[in-house]
Amino acid sequence: MLTTNVIVSLAERAAVGRILLSLLPPGLPGRHTPRDLPSTWAASHLLGTAALLLESEIFGLRSLSPSHPFLLAPWALVALVRWLTLPGALVPRHEPLSEPSGPLAGFLLFLSALAIPATAFLRPAPIGLEGVLRLADALALLALAAFGLASARRAPLGRGIAILCLSAILSAAIATSAEAAVAPALFLGGGAALGVPWLRRGDRRAAAFAAIAAASTALLGPRAAFLGAAGLLALCLHTPAPSGPGLAMFSAASLIACALPSFLHGEVEPPAEPAATPATLVMLVVVAWALWTRRRILAARAGEAAPTPEGRIDPSRPQSALMRDTLLLAVVVLAARGDLARIDLLFPTLLPLAPLLAIELCLLLAPAERPLGDSRAPEAAPVPVRR
């Protein structure tokens, strides 16, 4: 019975998320080749999880408990309308040639994926439906982190090591029954990972996905919502000026849409500790303003820097700066409200930041891929074509 419920729940999330993914602007992820299928499933799983959570919150305002067919009926209608009105999919072409993964890098990725379900046998208590869903969340986070690092064109072996380290941290959380922190890690880390292709090659689908993923942390409660707000602030700070206002408005609308049902529903009893104090908000605004000022100064000096030579891969410093600032703003939120004072709760508290740290270290330390003789500009923006 548990196996059937797990399969149905995962299929529902993947189907709803794939419908939502098709409504986002053209770009990646979204392909169904064997190489691209993990990132497409991971993105669909994240979007489907967020959509079904939001739908449940909305019905909860009326104290309703609809059945699964009732929850899925609106998405079937959306899929039908999408199929009738937009039958031609848009995919990017003329992507840079990537260095193929060697046997060792492939083995590290396989080991990373295998470690997550294997951890279920190390738990002191049997794993239930929610635990299995957290396993799927962890696998989706690994796939999204791998996709982001591949978009940054880091060497396959360096990507494999980073994903293996992240898998070890997530496996430790599942083995110690701290898997509740995997869900915010998926939303915050998945959004940050897709921020890499947005800053690197201007992928509009990646930008929309990153904003939705970070905003979806508000579905997990007001305390997690401030971590998502930190991720959105960093994403908007590092977005180029022409696209900044539009992405900021979309991010704010996504955050409000995810937080509003929970806010209207209210709490039966007030929480023992507030989600944020005035000092938390002041520190977040001050640090964000300081980061924005620093970025403006560095951007003004960047005009004097020499361009990347033809045929060489662009450095990953802009994407690394996004991870660094997201980490900094998230730590400010956690420290300002005293979440870092409890040593016994430090591991689950910091777990949502683990994917940011893994991606950041890989971007900083892993070498770039070897250029494979592509005569086009290595980081040219993808061109949408119909298929």
Q: What is the mean pLDDT of residues 198-224?
A: 91
Between CA 137 and CA 333 the distance in angstroms is 24
Tell me: pLDDT of 268 over 60.
no
314 three-state secondary structure: coil
Of 352, 133, 43, 323, the residue nearest 226 (C-alpha): 352
Q: How far is CA 343 from CA 276, 277, 330, 347, in A?
A: 20, 21, 18, 8
Between CA 384 and CA 387 the distance in angstroms is 10
Burial grade of 180 (CB within 10 A; 0-12, 13-18, 19 or more) = middle
Q: What is the pTM (predicted TM-score) of this model? A: 0.87
Bridge-partner residues for 90, per DSSP? 386
pLDDT (0 to 100) of residue 139: 95
Q: What is the mean pLDDT of residues 62-70?
A: 64
206 band by pLDDT with thresholds 50, 70 and 90:
very high
Q: What is the mean pLDDT of residues 357-377?
A: 76
Between CA 137 and CA 225 the distance in angstroms is 18
Higher pLDDT, 4 or 356: 356
pLDDT (0 to 100) of residue 367: 87
3-state secondary structure 194-261: HHHHHHHHCCHHHHHHHHHHHHHHHHHCHHHHHHHHHHHHHHHHHCCHHHHHHHHHHHHHHHHHHHHH
Q: What is the mean pLDDT of residues 254-277?
A: 69
pLDDT (0 to 100) of residue 66: 64
Tens-place pLDDT, residues 295-314: 777 766 665 444 555 557 77
pLDDT (0 to 100) of residue 387: 36
Higher pLDDT, 383 or 75: 75
Burial grade of 169 (CB within 10 A; 0-12, 13-18, 19 or more) = middle
- Quick one: which H or E segment has residue 351? none
Between CA 237 and CA 214 the distance in angstroms is 14
Higher pLDDT, 180 or 208: 208
Q: How far is CA 106 from CA 103, 302, 360, in A?
A: 5, 37, 21
Tell me: pLDDT of 333 over 50.
yes
pLDDT (0 to 100) of residue 45: 94
Q: What is the mean pLDDT of residues 16-44?
A: 89
Q: Is the separation of the CB atoms in 253 and 312 below 8 Å?
A: no
Q: What is the mean pLDDT of residues 174-201?
A: 90
pLDDT (0 to 100) of residue 266: 57
The total of other beta-carbon atoms located within 10 Å of residue 65's CB is 9
Higher pLDDT, 337 or 62: 337
| Chain mean pLDDT for the chain | 82
Rounded percentage of the chain residues whose pLDDT exceeds 90: 36
At a CB cut-off of 8 Å and minimum separation 6, what does 164 contact?
108, 109, 111, 112, 115
Between CA 371 and CA 365 the distance in angstroms is 18
Between CA 62 and CA 55 the distance in angstroms is 12
Tens-place pLDDT, residues 102-129: 889 889 999 999 999 888 777 766 777 7
Tell me: pLDDT of 252 over 50.
yes
Tens-place pLDDT, residues 223-243: 888 899 999 999 998 898 888
Residue 267 DSSP symbol:
-
Burial grade of 373 (CB within 10 A; 0-12, 13-18, 19 or more) = exposed
Q: Which two tokens stand for residue 228?
A: 């998502």
pLDDT (0 to 100) of residue 273: 59
Between CA 359 and CA 193 the distance in angstroms is 7
The total of other beta-carbon atoms located within 10 Å of residue 282's CB is 11
pLDDT (0 to 100) of residue 216: 94
Q: Is the separation of the CB atoms in 251 and 232 below 8 Å?
A: yes
pLDDT (0 to 100) of residue 114: 93
User: 384 φ, ψ to 5°?
Assistant: -70, 135
Tell me the residue type at 36: D
Tell me the residue type at 299: A
Tell me: pLDDT of 222 over 90.
no
